[in-house]
């Protein structure tokens, strides 16, 4: 299946342009939707305010206005900053998010690169952002930023492990690292003899899903795990010294990676771009599939942001304790149970 | 260059050399973190110089004075009625409560007493300013610990009380309503019923914040056992208000040393908590909001009729003498020591504000905690910058 053909022949440069535009759309559209729907509107309604309502209908163009504002602002470098690293860090963080989208199947033919070890690749590149964050924290020459960057690194080590272990359960059940295969197993599987709704792994991997979502929350540095950016103690941590377009890049990366992890969670646990009653191999899924995936992504990110607006923040050592003493053992037990049941049935 | 400066410099160089040697030997380096004067956790311009070992605080020192406005000195060149305008701005979240002790001190010097109706309304407004202050504390503590939503709920429900204060006094934040010998005006029509509704809303807010914050496991993990101040330390640093009661000391000026307000005639309870940690201080303040709403209700029920102003000369000249009056304000004990020489204005005013003493314990309590705990402790000690620097 690695030699997928587009419906019509195109030159290499045409395909490349199409893919670049596609990746940008795939990154920016979910990010914009999340920011508007959840950060601007849902958060406002939860906090008994109206949110932006002047720019465009129901404030929907507020984000564009904000982007315009950020682009106009001065790009400030602190006097003692390591200029090269300081300038580079936001791009590393954004690049890591862009790379995640490469391996995601949006439809039977709608993907950017089909990788046999897709989920492995996704988990690997998604961690690159921590390097960017660490660089940003170090290069800012600011104590708060440094603490923030170091906390982000510590958090990554603590939470990458439960996330990977939670995914292992899915991989064991699907028998493949290929994201497309994982979707197919969910679409064509059956549970307790029922097959019309397939076998979304959230049913059998509920524990894995919960662990994955908690780890995602930490990976995205959203409350209650937002110690690296803790605005009330570290003054937004590694982002303190950034302004203008570079801050915008961090902002995009934050919400695009929320979308990326939403998509990964939807693909792993909620059946990906497939819905019951649809034929996952049909051509129309190339159009319907991305919309279905967007809907599922919004559901997952809704949970992420709901938690974000509700809970206070953990302390760094409490987070480490939570990860190492609770999540990792739980994830290991989950893998063990999955393996035993896989062999038994 | 003088010898003293030489010694200073020599000591500085020696200290630097010692630091360098330590760094070389154990390959670790302490860090001095300067929290403030501009930092979101310091509610304004308090500065905390914290020496850190990784994320652990080795020693910390609060430095106040960035917002000193010289109100004590300014009071000396104002007449008595003008002073209330200044002292409104000390604890700006519970402004009316600032005026009361000063007016009571002046009344004591002049040997007059406000009529009963004025005293009851004073008490109601005094407790309402406590509610306005502490409701925002509840929201702000949520915000400091990372839960943004609580802050918006705090701002939203404080408005119920502020609207009622504004309806009486004409000012949301700085009422400037208390007068020597009584109050400026009587209550407007329909105000009592509206205020009772507002008090019910504030009680709803307490229930809501209990659901959202108090019972939250993360909030408890961040606050329980953090920033413990034992009773003897609290007393020796001169803490007052909820910070003192949170350490298990049963001391409330409204009950133990009432003066001029009608608290003894009301049915209410002083809460204490034996733990002395951040959570106990939080819990006591939430209970105090509830008690204050009950007190306001009782004040409105028992409101006597009659004048709101005693017989006071048009031009107020306070006889020579000294008076010190202390009341239990939202932040703790607040007192005014007023010295009069028989002029139009006070000769000397010394303000004992609660927050100044409350933050003095920081250097004791911040030793050994982690950086995130600094924020939890600061928000639980609950200071207002205007109340520290005056």
pLDDT at A1: 35
> Which contiguous run of DSSP H or E holds residue A286?
helix A285-310
Residue of A234, A230, A238 lying closest to A312 (CA atoms): A230
Which chain A residues touch B143 with a CB distance below 8 Å?
A: 232
- CB B381, CB B359: distance < 8 Å: yes
Q: Is the CB of residue B148 less than 8 Å away from at least one CB of chain A?
A: yes
Q: Give CA–CA dist B331/B276, Å, rounded.
A: 16
* Per-residue pLDDT at B18 exceeds 60: no
Q: Is the CB of residue A239 less than 8 Å away from at least one CB of chain B?
A: no
Question: How close does chain B come to A149, measured CA to CA in Å?
Answer: 13
| CATH no. for B73-355 | 1.10.645.10
Three-class DSSP category at B31: strand
pLDDT band at B14 (very low <50, low <70, confident <90, very high): low
Residue of B243, B247, B237, B298 lying closest to B269 (CA atoms): B298
State pLDDT tens for residues B205-215. 999 888 888 88
Contacts of A130 (CB under 8 A, 6+ apart): A152, A153, A156
Instruction: Centre a 10 Å sphere on the Cβ of residue A245 and count the other Cβ atoms it contains.
Output: 15
Mutation target to probe the B interface, by most B beta carbons within 10 A, among A150, A154, A237, A312 is A312
- CB B332, CB B243: distance < 8 Å: yes
DSSP string, A41-105: IIHHHHTTS----SSSGGGTTHHHHHHHHHHHS-----TTS-HHHHHHHHHHHHHHHHHHHHT--
Q: Give CA–CA dist B37/B270, Å, rounded.
A: 35
Residue of B146, B156, B91, B98 lying closest to B122 (CA atoms): B98
Question: How close does chain B come to A313, measured CA to CA in Å?
Answer: 5
- CB B209, CB B286: distance < 8 Å: yes
State pLDDT tens for residues B213-252. 888 888 888 888 888 888 888 888 889 888 999 888 888 8
A49 to chain B: nearest residue by CA?
A: B152
Mutation target to probe the B interface, by most B beta carbons within 10 A, among A232, A309, A317 is A232
Which chain B residues touch A147 with a CB distance below 8 Å?
A: 55, 371
- CB B186, CB B239: distance < 8 Å: no
Task: Determine, for residues A313 and B222 on separate chains, whether the beta-carbon distance falls below 8 Å.
Answer: yes
- CB A52, CB A46: distance < 8 Å: no
Cβ-in-10-Å burial (0-12, 13-18, 19+) of B66 comes to middle
Find how far residue B87's CA is from the centre of its chain: 13
A43 to chain B: nearest residue by CA?
A: B149
DSSP code at position A239: G
B142 to chain A: nearest residue by CA?
A: A312
Question: How close does chain B come to A174, measured CA to CA in Å?
Answer: 35
- Looking at per-residue pLDDT, the higher value among A274 and B325 belongs to B325
Which chain B residues touch A144 with a CB distance below 8 Å?
A: 33
The structure tokens listed for A263 are 């998509």
pLDDT at A2: 38
Task: Determine, for residues B146 and A318 on separate chains, whether the beta-carbon distance falls below 8 Å.
Answer: no
Task: Determine, for residues A313 and B221 on separate chains, whether the beta-carbon distance falls below 8 Å.
Answer: no
Task: Determine, for residues B145 and A312 on separate chains, whether the beta-carbon distance falls below 8 Å.
Answer: yes
DSSP code at position B323: E
Q: Is the CB of residue B273 less than 8 Å away from at least one CB of chain A?
A: no
pLDDT band at B11 (very low <50, low <70, confident <90, very high): low
Spans of all domains in chain B: 73-355
Q: Tell me what percent of chain B is helix, strand and coil, each rounded to the nearest 5.
A: 55, 15, 35
Contacts of A313 (CB under 8 A, 6+ apart): A223, A224, A225, A226, A227, A230, B145, B146, B147, B218, B222, B372
Contacts of A116 (CB under 8 A, 6+ apart): A2, A177, A178
Q: Name the A residues in 44-73 with CB < 8 Å from any B CB.
A: 46-49
Cβ-in-10-Å burial (0-12, 13-18, 19+) of A161 comes to middle
Question: How close does chain B come to A46, measured CA to CA in Å?
Answer: 7
Q: Is the CB of residue A40 less than 8 Å away from at least one CB of chain B?
A: no
Question: How close does chain B come to A95, measured CA to CA in Å?
Answer: 28
- CB B89, CB B173: distance < 8 Å: no
Q: Give CA–CA dist B162/A50, Å, rounded.
A: 21
Which chain A residues touch B223 with a CB distance below 8 Å?
A: none
Q: Give CA–CA dist A88/A25, Å, rounded.
A: 23
pLDDT at A60: 82
Report the residue from A234, A235, A311 with minimal CB separation from B216: A311
State pLDDT tens for residues B371-390. 888 888 988 888 888 888 88
Three-class DSSP category at A140: coil
* Summary mean pLDDT of chain B: 85
Question: How close does chain A come to B213, measured CA to CA in Å?
Answer: 8
- CB A207, CB A330: distance < 8 Å: yes
* Per-residue pLDDT at B20 exceeds 60: no
Q: Is the CB of residue A318 less than 8 Å away from at least one CB of chain B?
A: yes
The structure tokens listed for B170 are 């004409």
A230 to chain B: nearest residue by CA?
A: B146
Q: Is the CB of residue B30 less than 8 Å away from at least one CB of chain A?
A: no
Spans of all domains in chain A: 12-344
Task: Determine, for residues A310 and B149 on separate chains, whether the beta-carbon distance falls below 8 Å.
Answer: yes
Task: Determine, for residues A232 and B373 on separate chains, whether the beta-carbon distance falls below 8 Å.
Answer: no
pLDDT band at B9 (very low <50, low <70, confident <90, very high): low
Question: How close does chain B come to A304, measured CA to CA in Å?
Answer: 14
pLDDT at B200: 92
Which chain B residues touch A47 with a CB distance below 8 Å?
A: 148-149, 152-153
Task: Determine, for residues B218 and A313 on separate chains, whether the beta-carbon distance falls below 8 Å.
Answer: yes
- CB A119, CB A260: distance < 8 Å: no
The structure tokens listed for B232 are 């003897």
Q: Is the CB of residue B371 less than 8 Å away from at least one CB of chain A?
A: yes
**Look-up of token digits 């304000």:** B329
State pLDDT tens for residues B259-278. 888 888 888 889 998 888 88
The structure tokens listed for A8 are 């019509």
Q: Give CA–CA dist A124/A129, Å, rounded.
A: 10
pLDDT at B292: 92
Task: Determine, for residues B218 and A312 on separate chains, whether the beta-carbon distance falls below 8 Å.
Answer: yes
Three-class DSSP category at B340: strand
Summarize the confidence of residues B140-152 as an average pLDDT: 85
Q: Give CA–CA dist A134/A238, Å, rounded.
A: 8
Task: Determine, for residues A226 and B147 on separate chains, whether the beta-carbon distance falls below 8 Å.
Answer: no
B370 to chain A: nearest residue by CA?
A: A315
Q: Give the sheet arrangement for strand B56-63, strand by strand.
A: B31-35, B47-53, B56-63
End-to-end C-alpha distance for chain A, whole angstroms: 28
Q: Is the CB of residue B57 less than 8 Å away from at least one CB of chain A?
A: no
Preceding amide of A224 cis, omega within 30: yes
- CB B52, CB B371: distance < 8 Å: yes
State pLDDT tens for residues A204-256. 788 889 999 999 888 888 888 888 887 777 778 888 888 888 888 888 888 88
* CA dihedral over A114, A117, A118, A124, signed as positive or negative: negative
State pLDDT tens for residues B106-143. 888 888 888 989 999 999 999 999 999 999 898 888 88
The structure tokens listed for A85 are 């690293």
CB pairs under 8 A between A and B: 79
Contacts of A44 (CB under 8 A, 6+ apart): A50, A51, A52
State pLDDT tens for residues B42-96. 777 888 888 877 777 888 888 888 888 888 889 889 888 888 888 888 888 888 8
pTM exceeds 0.95, yes or no: no
Q: Give CA–CA dist A176/B116, Å, rounded.
A: 83
pLDDT at B289: 92
Which chain B residues touch A234 with a CB distance below 8 Å?
A: 371
Positions in chain A whose pLDDT score sits under 70: 1-8, 192-196
Which chain B residues touch A312 with a CB distance below 8 Å?
A: 142, 145-147, 213, 216, 218-219, 222
Q: What is the CA radius of gyration of chain A?
A: 20
Q: Is the CB of residue B221 less than 8 Å away from at least one CB of chain A?
A: yes
pLDDT at A56: 80
Residue of B289, B258, B251, B285 lying closest to B122 (CA atoms): B258
Which chain A residues touch B147 with a CB distance below 8 Å?
A: 223, 310-313
Which chain A residues touch B33 with a CB distance below 8 Å?
A: 143-144
The structure tokens listed for B124 are 């109601």
């Amino acid at each position: 299946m690695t030699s997928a053909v587009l419906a019509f022949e195109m030159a290499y440069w045409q395909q490349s342009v199409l893919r670049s535009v596609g990746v940008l759309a795939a990154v920016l559209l979910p990010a914009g939707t999340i920011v508007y729907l959840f950060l601007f509107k849902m958060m406002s309604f939860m906090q008994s305010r109206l949110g932006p309502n002047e720019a465009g209908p129901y404030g929907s163009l507020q984000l564009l206005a904000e982007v315009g504002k950020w682009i106009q602002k001065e790009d400030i470098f602190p006097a003692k900053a390591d200029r090269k690293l300081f300038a580079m860090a936001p791009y590393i963080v954004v690049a890591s998010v862009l790379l995640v989208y490469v391996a995601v199947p949006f439809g039977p033919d709608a993907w950017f690169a089909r990788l046999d070890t897709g989920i492995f690749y996704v988990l690997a590149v998604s961690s690159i952002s921590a390097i960017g964050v660490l660089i940003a924290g170090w290069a800012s020459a600011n104590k708060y930023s440094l603490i923030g960057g170091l906390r982000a690194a510590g958090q990554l080590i603590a939470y990458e492990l439960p996330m990977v272990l939670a995914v292992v359960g899915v991989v064991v059940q699907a028998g493949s690292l290929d994201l497309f295969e994982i979707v197919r197993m969910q679409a064509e599987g059956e549970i307790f003899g029922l097959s019309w709704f397939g076998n979304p792994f959230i049913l059998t991997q509920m524990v894995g899903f919960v662990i994955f979502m908690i780890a995602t929350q930490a990976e995205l540095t959203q409350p209650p795990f937002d110690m690296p950016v803790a605005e009330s103690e570290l003054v937004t941590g590694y982002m303190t010294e950034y302004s203008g377009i570079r801050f915008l890049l961090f902002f995009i990366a934050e919400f695009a990676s929320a979308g990326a992890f939403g998509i990964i969670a939807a693909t792993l646990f909620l059946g990906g771009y497939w819905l019951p009653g649809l034929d996952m191999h049909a051509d129309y899924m190339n159009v319907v599939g991305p919309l279905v995936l967007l809907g599922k992504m919004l559901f997952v990110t809704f949970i992420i942001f709901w938690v974000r607006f509700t809970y206070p923040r953990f302390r760094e050592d409490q987070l480490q304790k939570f990860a190492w003493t609770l999540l990792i053992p739980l994830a290991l037990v989950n893998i063990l149970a999955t393996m035993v049941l896989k062999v038994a049935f | 260059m003088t010898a003293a400066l030489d010694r200073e410099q020599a000591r500085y160089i020696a200290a630097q050399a010692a630091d360098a040697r330590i760094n070389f030997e154990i390959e670790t380096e302490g860090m001095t973190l300067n929290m403030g004067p501009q930092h979101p956790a310091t509610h304004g311009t308090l500065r905390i110089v914290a020496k850190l070992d990784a994320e652990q605080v080795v020693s910390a020192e609060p430095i106040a004075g960035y917002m000193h406005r010289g109100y004590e000195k300014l009071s000396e060149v104002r007449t008595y009625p003008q002073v209330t305008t200044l002292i409104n701005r000390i604890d700006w979240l519970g402004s009316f409560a600032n005026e009361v002790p000063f007016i009571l001190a002046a009344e004591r010097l002049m040997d007059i007493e406000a009529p009963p109706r004025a005293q009851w309304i004073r008490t109601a407004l005094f407790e309402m300013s406590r509610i306005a202050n502490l409701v925002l504390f509840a929201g702000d503590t949520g915000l400091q610990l990372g839960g943004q939503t609580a802050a918006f709920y705090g701002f939203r429900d404080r408005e119920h009380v502020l609207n009622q204060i504004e309806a009486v006094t004409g000012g949301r934040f700085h009422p400037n309503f208390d007068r020597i010998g009584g109050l400026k005006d009587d209550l407007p029509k329909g105000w009592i019923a509206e205020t009772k509704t507002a008090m019910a809303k504030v009680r709803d807010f307490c229930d809501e914040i209990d659901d959202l914050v108090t019972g939250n496991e993360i909030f408890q993990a961040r606050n329980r056992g953090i920033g413990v101040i034992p009773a003897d330390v609290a007393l020796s640093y001169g803490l007052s208000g909820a910070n003192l009661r949170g350490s298990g000391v049963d001391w409330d000026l409204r009950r133990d040393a009432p003066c001029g307000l009608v608290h003894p005639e009301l049915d209410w309870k002083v809460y204490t908590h034996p733990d002395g940690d951040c959570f106990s201080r939080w819990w006591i303040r939430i209970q105090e909001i509830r008690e204050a709403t009950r007190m306001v209700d009782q004040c409105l029920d028992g409101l006597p009729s009659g004048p709101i102003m005693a017989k006071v000369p048009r031009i107020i000249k306070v006889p020579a003498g000294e008076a010190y009056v202390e009341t239990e304000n939202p932040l703790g004990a607040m007192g005014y020591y007023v010295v009069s020489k028989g002029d139009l204005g006070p000769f000397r005013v010394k303000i004992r504000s609660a927050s100044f003493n409350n933050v003095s314990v920081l250097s004791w309590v911040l030793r050994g905690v982690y950086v995130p705990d600094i924020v939890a402790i600061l928000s639980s000690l609950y200071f207002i910058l205007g109340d520290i620097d005056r």
